[in-house]
Structure 1
Amino acid sequence: MKLRWDEITHVTKADPAKDLPPDLGVLDRTDAVMVGGSDGVTAENTLDTIRAIKRRFPEKPVLQEPYSSSHVSTDTMEAADHLAVPAVYNGDREHFVGKHVDLFTEVGSKPEEVLGTGLPVLGDLIASKGLDAVSRMTNEIVGEGYVVQNPASTAADVTGADEPYTGEEVAGAALATEAFYGFPVFYLEYSGTYGGPDDVEAAATHLDDTVLLYGGGIDGERRTREILDAGADAVVVGDCFHDDPARFLETIPS
């Protein structure tokens, strides 16, 4: 399913390590769902989450956003519409370039030897479907320029993002995302805290074609509207989806 970012203003972040709401009907008005998390996530619970959402909403775009290749399998690739791969600008080398170079090194230089390298998405796909699967996988990847702005979060701990960016650095990262790296998405992640509109405005100044996502502390339509008015293309809402579905519904713009 091709993503139509111009039609998306609200994205739900579903954590496979958390229980889904009893009634998935709360997802009816969200535009897309991103499945991923940094703690307690496996390929198995990721697959369960994707399949549960797709059973209820087969036409709704679902992206898998893994923090580790161990979260990805042939089955998750088949179940999700896209694979969103973060490159964390203010993280350690492993989470900006290391994992990505390792992955494509294996694909490009010795795909027949990938089995057993710890990259199940490649090994399983190549073993079962041949090298055409690598081309398909590449077409389904959505690269994300990613900034983690809450140093106390699990995401920061996992990625080594010890220091949040200043507004000037956020603007620079946004400019690099579009003008140099060519990623289709720039993601400002506050991981449960509300960062407000300032960094959004700084980033939006430099983005024309790249989609600007904001996640963190969205707990009602007022904050959703504030972030969208500041220049974000979409808000990403996660915690209250799991913890308070009624409040989650209030985050969806009318």
Structure 2
Amino acid sequence: MNMMRKWKHIFKLDPAKEISDEHLDLICRSGTDAIMIGGTDNVTLDGVEDLLLRIKQRHELFCILEVSTMEAIIPGFDAYYIPMVLNSKDKTWMMDIQHQGIKEYIDFIDYTELIFEGYCILNEEAKVFKYTNSRLPDIEDVRAYAYMAEHVFHLPVFYVEYSGKYGDVEVVKQAKEQLDNTLLFYGGGIENSNHAKEMKEYADVIIVGNHIYHNIDEALETVAAVKVK
């Protein structure tokens, strides 16, 4: 957790998507603080393992598995992030899956590597929004979810997730105002350095994912945009 407080930028890679060795090397050498591996669908053990090995064999970089399915959990990651979808209408995504995972792995868990994230998904067209049966929150809902993440659940991370769509900066600002100790992550639609700078004004950490696969050069520029003083 102390290390996370120094972070500003994370690249998120989808194990179900192809990425060349050249582009993967560029991502790993970019100066990003960590690589997160995770996705919504077609996430397999083989895909996760292949991506992790390709990174670890060539680079010393902090690697996170964001757990979306129990079948794709493997050892070797530096941390395991467990989403708790606060705006899901289905308790499965807030409590039940997490309970089942801990029940199954309780004797093997190193709790120093386990980070629970309070997720708030704000793009109703996104796969993850539909998959988790979420409801679309308004700005007052988001403020309340952020408050709950820190003051009710004492979660280390509150994640504002627009998932492929560039979000509302005011929503991110209002979420940040509720947080003192919980870190604010922002992900969704960051396609250039201006987007990165704008969201980093309020988010502790920005996460860049989809644009890696659309325009690698613009994605790489987001690192310097938030890390150069």
TM-score by length of 1: 0.82
Output the aligned Cα RMSD: 1.6
2:7 corresponds to:
8
2:79 corresponds to:
82
Q: How much identity, in percent, do the aligned residues show?
A: 30
Aligned partner of residue 82 in structure 2, secondary structure:
strand
C-alpha separation between the residues in 1 aligned to 2:199 and 2:12? 17
Equivalence map 1:32-111=2 (5 Å): 32-58=34-60, 60-72=61-73, 76-77=74-75, 79-91=76-88, 92-104=90-102, 106=103
Q: Which has the larger radius of gyration?
A: 1
Structure 1 segments unaligned to the other structure (5+ residues): 107-113, 115-121
C-alpha separation between the residues in 2 aligned to 1:177 and 1:21? 37
Structure 2 segments unaligned to the other structure (5+ residues): none
8 A contact 1:213–1:232 mirrored in 2: yes
| Higher helix proportion | 1
TM-score by length of 2: 0.91
Cα distance, 1:9 vs structure 2: 0.8
CA distance 1:225–1:34, change in 2 (3 Å):
same
1:191 corresponds to:
163
Aligned partner of residue 96 in structure 2, secondary structure:
helix
8 A contact 1:21–1:241 mirrored in 2: no
Aligned partner of residue 193 in structure 1, secondary structure:
coil
Cα distance, 1:3 vs structure 2: 6.0
C-alpha separation between the residues in 2 aligned to 1:20 and 1:99? 29
Equivalence map 1:227-246=2 (5 Å): 227-229=199-201, 231-246=202-217
Aligned partner of residue 152 in structure 1, secondary structure:
coil
Worse-matched range after superposition: 10-19 or 94-103: 94-103
Cα distance, 1:66 vs structure 2: 1.6
Cα distance, 1:94 vs structure 2: 0.4
2:32 corresponds to:
30
